[in-house]
Structure 1
Amino acid sequence: MKNITYLVLSTLIALSSCNLFELDNYDLPAETLKGTVVDKETGEPILTDQGSEGIRVRLTELSWGDNVSPNPDFFCMPDGTFQNTKLFAGTYNVRIDGPFIPLIREDDRGVPLADETQTVDIKGVSEVTFEVQPFLKVEWVKDPEVINGKVRAQIRVTRGVSKEEFRSKIEPMGGYSDSFQNITDIQLFVSYSSTVGYRARDERWSSQLEFSGSSFNDMLGETITIESNGTIPEGRMVFVRAAARINFDTPRGSGTRRWNYNEPRQVLVY
């Protein structure tokens, strides 16, 4: 029995002296990356949706070599800014994908055509600005108004990048079609939330206009009227926002067609 007791005590002492019982003394990730996405031509922010249909941010830490997996994706806020406060210090490739000319473009053989991502040394608070070419620009023509419990909005949709430049950037990627530039739909999102958009919409009241082929082309730059669905109860304060998108997915092949937005407006239903 004494031999068994001695053996147990010896084993515990040996284990206590090894790394098994050492505390993890690595610092928690605490570095911050702040970013802004703006229109290359106007300097205006690229307004977006706060969700997977919005502007996607992908970070890849380059310190670990060429084959490292990216960090988990995150998304811009509706005003076109993004922030991540839980990063380890290091050198990162920063890539964004959204309703604008892709930053990374390759031909159908995988040969690089352009890489407009950015490499950033992140330590403390680091900031980055991306200047992009948005597919569309969506503007309020006038403040939305309420008529019989419905929100009536008047908007204008124009191209943020010319048809010729879009084609010059996208056609070398292969499989080009003129249909990529077709405007497919206009959405009017209604919500109690100030982050109103596809991910924060009330389906009872949000509405859409759909367009086939190139049928919207004659309406570019014209005033478009769109009304909310249903009847919003009197006395409610809601937020509304319009969005439009083209028949082109970003990243290419993802199947995600992202909207360009205007800024939200607050409306009292009376």
Structure 2
Amino acid sequence: MKKIAFCTLFCALFSFSSCGLFEVDNYDEPKETLWGEVVDVATGKRVLTDQGKDGTYIRLTELSWGENVQHNPDFNCMSDGTFQNTKIFKGLYHIDVVGAFIPLLRENENGTPLADDTQTTEIKGTTKVRFEVQPFLNIEWVGEPTISNGKVTAKLRITRGVSEEEFRSKIEPMGGYESNFLNVTDVRLFVSYSSSVGYGTSMDNDEFDPWSGELKYSGSEFNPSLGEVITIESKGSIPSGRTVFVRAAARINYATPKGSGTKRYNYNEAKELMVP
């Protein structure tokens, strides 16, 4: 009886192995590289972002497998507006980029395309792409941020990257348009030991991030301040003798992609400060 059972098990294992269960995966590992940049179509400058899931991200869909293929795992843009992925299989890809700017792919509520500024390209070796976008807001330093008694003070100027009229003409046809989408909801002064300072190093956690300052606005309250110089301060007291990085950000009341609930920040460049 034991011999019969053993023979049955042996035959079953042999059958599995003949079906390829124990074959070694001999596919080449992904080694193609995609490098890109996201720039403001009006200025040619890179659109700065948060280096995390709430910043600009890239979505790849390999078209080699047919129309119903699932997209690759999303990956994030770097804070300077560039992105790179060095582990991609060779093939034809659809590339979409999502961030705090007018969506590249816009469809109406029935899924009918209204505009498509995404790209389809063959990724082979090192492939470079450039996306020109319309950021919601522009944030610029006015003078240099200063620090005194452990507190950072900065002056900023915030302007729209796309006019109200053009924003509405591109977003309203997608459906569900609300007049409050363009309202600036908050302005932030992020402070961190990390040069990648931003929302990703803050996450609204006072214990983890005790110094970042914030100005909140309701409705269209911020509108008179567009184009004007505003002042924002950090909170708490940064220990002396430390080096910190500061960066300002602002966002509007519009989520990208549509329906995600994620309202992404536009940023300016980071500054390095030594706390006296």
Q: TM bucket by the smaller chain? A: over 0.9
Q: Give the TM-score taking structure 2 as reference length.
A: 0.92
Write out aligned runs for 1:216-255 (5 A). Answer: 216-255=222-261
Q: Are residue 214 (structure 1) and residue 215 (structure 2) matched?
A: no
Task: Call closer, same or farther: CA 1:2–1:207 in 2, change over 3 Å.
Answer: closer
Write the letter of the residue equivalent to 1:43.
G
2:13, 2:251 → 1: CA distance?
66
Task: Call closer, same or farther: CA 1:5–1:186 in 2, change over 3 Å.
Answer: closer
2:5, 2:187 → 1: CA distance?
79
Task: Call closer, same or farther: CA 1:96–1:12 in 2, change over 3 Å.
Answer: closer
1:180, 1:6 → 2: CA distance?
71
Partner secondary structure for residue 242 of structure 1: strand
**Quick one: percent identity of the two aligned structures?**
61
1:185, 1:115 → 2: CA distance?
30
Contact 2:201–2:209 at 8 Å: present in 1 too? no
Q: 2:205 maps to what in 1?
A: none
Task: Call closer, same or farther: CA 1:214–1:26 in 2, change over 3 Å.
Answer: same
The CA deviation at 1:109 is 2.2
Partner secondary structure for residue 19 of structure 1: coil
Write out aligned runs for 1:45-60 (5 A). Answer: 45-60=46-61
The CA deviation at 1:4 is 9.8
Write the letter of the residue equivalent to 2:97.
I
Partner secondary structure for residue 147 of structure 2: strand
Write the letter of the residue equivalent to 1:224.
I
Q: 1:184 maps to what in 2?
A: 185
Moved over 6 A (4+): 1-18
Q: Are residue 34 (structure 1) and residue 32 (structure 2) matched?
A: no
The CA deviation at 1:14 is 7.8
1:161, 1:6 → 2: CA distance?
75
Partner secondary structure for residue 179 of structure 1: coil
Task: Call closer, same or farther: CA 1:234–1:17 in 2, change over 3 Å.
Answer: same
1:109, 1:12 → 2: CA distance?
52
Partner secondary structure for residue 70 of structure 1: coil
Q: Are residue 157 (structure 1) and residue 163 (structure 2) matched?
A: no
Write the letter of the residue equivalent to 1:242.
A
The CA deviation at 1:115 is 1.1
Q: 1:43 maps to what in 2?
A: 44
The CA deviation at 1:112 is 1.2
Write out aligned runs for 1:15-30 (5 A). Answer: 19-30=20-31
The CA deviation at 1:147 is 1.6
Contact 2:140–2:156 at 8 Å: present in 1 too? yes
* 1:18-67, Cα deviation, whole Å (9 max, x unpaired): 63443221100111101100000110000000111100110000111111
Q: Give the TM-score taking structure 1 as reference length.
A: 0.94
Write out aligned runs for 1:32-181 (5 A). Answer: 32-181=33-182
Contact 2:31–2:86 at 8 Å: present in 1 too? yes
